[in-house]
Amino acid sequence: MPKRPPDQPFSIRGLKPVPDRLPAFEGEPVQIRFLARLSGDGKRLYSSQDRGTPVHAGTLIRKRTIVLDSELRGRRKELSRILVHELFHFAWVRLSNRSRASYEELVEREFVSRARGELGWSAEWRKQALLRSAARKNGRKWRDYLCESFCDTAAWMYAGLQTHAEFTLAPTHRHRRAQWFKITYRSGGIPI
pLDDT beyond 90 at 66:
yes
Report the pLDDT value the prediction gives residue 36, as an integer from 0 to 100: 96
Residues 102 and 179 in one domain: yes
**Residue 34 pLDDT exceeds 50:** yes
Please indicate, yes or no, whether residues 140 and 104 belong to a single structural domain of this protein: yes
Check whether residue 58 and residue 134 sit in a common domain: no
- For the chain, the domain total comes to 2
Average pLDDT over residues 26-50: 92
Q: What average pLDDT score do residues 71-84 get?
A: 93
Is residue 99 within 8 A of residue 92, CB to CB? The reply is no
Whether 108 is covered by a domain: the verdict is yes
Alpha helices, H only, the chain: 76-94, 97-112, 121-132, 140-158, 171-184
Q: Is 27 left (phi over 0), alpha (psi -120 to 50) or beta?
A: left
**CA–CA separation, 44 and 82 (whole Å):** 19
Question: Could you tell me if 128 and 150 lie in one domain?
Answer: yes
Mean pLDDT, the chain, whole residue set: 88
Kindly state whether residues 109 and 156 are assigned to the same domain: yes
Question: 116 and 172 share a domain?
Answer: yes
Q: Can you give the residue range of the structural domain that contains 141?
A: 97-187
Assigned domain for 1 exists: no
Predicted confidence (pLDDT) at residue 11 exceeds the cutoff of 80: no
Are residue 118 and residue 165 in the same domain, yes or no?
yes
pLDDT tens digits, 88-103: 999 999 999 999 999 9
In this prediction, residue 15 has a pLDDT band, given cuts at 50, 70 and 90, of: low
Domain boundary among 39, 70, 94: 94
The arrangement of strands across the sheet holding 45-47 comes to 45-47, 38-40, 53-54
**Position 171 pLDDT exceeds 60:** yes
79 shares its domain with 123 = no
Q: Do 55 and 81 belong to one domain?
A: yes
Q: Pairing mode, if any, of strands 65-69 and 31-35?
A: parallel
Residue range 111-148, pLDDT digits in tens: 889 899 999 999 999 999 888 876 666 688 999 999 99
Q: Among 94, 120, 143, where does a domain finish? A: 94
The per-residue pLDDT for 147 is: 97
Higher-pLDDT residue of 85, 5: 85
Write down the pLDDT at residue 20: 64
Residue 12's pLDDT is 52
SS3 annotation, 145-159? HHHHHHHHHHHHHHC
Confidence class for position 187, pLDDT limits 50, 70, 90: confident
Q: Which pLDDT band, with edges at 50, 70 and 90, does 4 fall under?
A: very low
Given 70, 94, 118, the domain boundary residue is 94
